[in-house]
A and B are shown apart, each in its own frame.
Chain A
Amino acid sequence: EAQVTQNPRYLITVTGKKLTVTCSQNMNHEYMSWYRQDPGLGLRQIYYSMNVEVTDKGDVPEGYKVSRKEKRNFPLILESPSPNQTSLYFCASSSDRGRRHNEQFFGPGTRLTVL
Chain B
Amino acid sequence: AQSVAQPEDQVNVAEGNPLTVKCTYSVSGNPYLFWYVQYPNRGLQFLLKYITGDNLVKGSYGFEAEFNKSQTSFHLKKPSALVSDSALYFCAVRETGNNDMRFGAGTRLTVKP
Contacts and interface: CB of A to CB of B under 8 A. Distances in A.
Count class of interface residues, chain A: 20 to 34
Given A41-B105, A42-B106, A43-B90, A48 B43 contact: no
Q: Per DSSP, are chain B's interface residues mostly helix, strand or loop, or mixed? A: loop
Interface string B23-45: 00000000010101000011111
Interface stretch (A11-19, A62-70, A71-79, A105-113): A105-113
B101 A42 contact: no
B98 interface: yes
A70 B67 CA distance: 37
A45 B100 contact: yes
A103 B46 contact: yes
Contacts of B71: none
B3 to A, nearest CB: 10
A101 B51 contact: yes
Q: Per DSSP, are chain A's interface residues mostly helix, strand or loop, or mixed? A: strand
A56 B99 contact: yes
Contact of B44 (A40, A50, A58, A106): A106
Contacts of B92: 43
Contacts of B45: 106
Contacts of A43: 44, 90, 92, 103, 106
A33 to B, nearest CB: 7
9 contacts: A35-B103, A43-B92, A90-B44, A100-B97, A101-B32, A101-B51, A105-B46, A106-B44, A109-B43
Which 7 residue pairs across A and B have the least CB separation, nearest first?
A106-B43, A42-B105, A43-B103, A103-B46, A101-B32, A106-B44, A101-B51
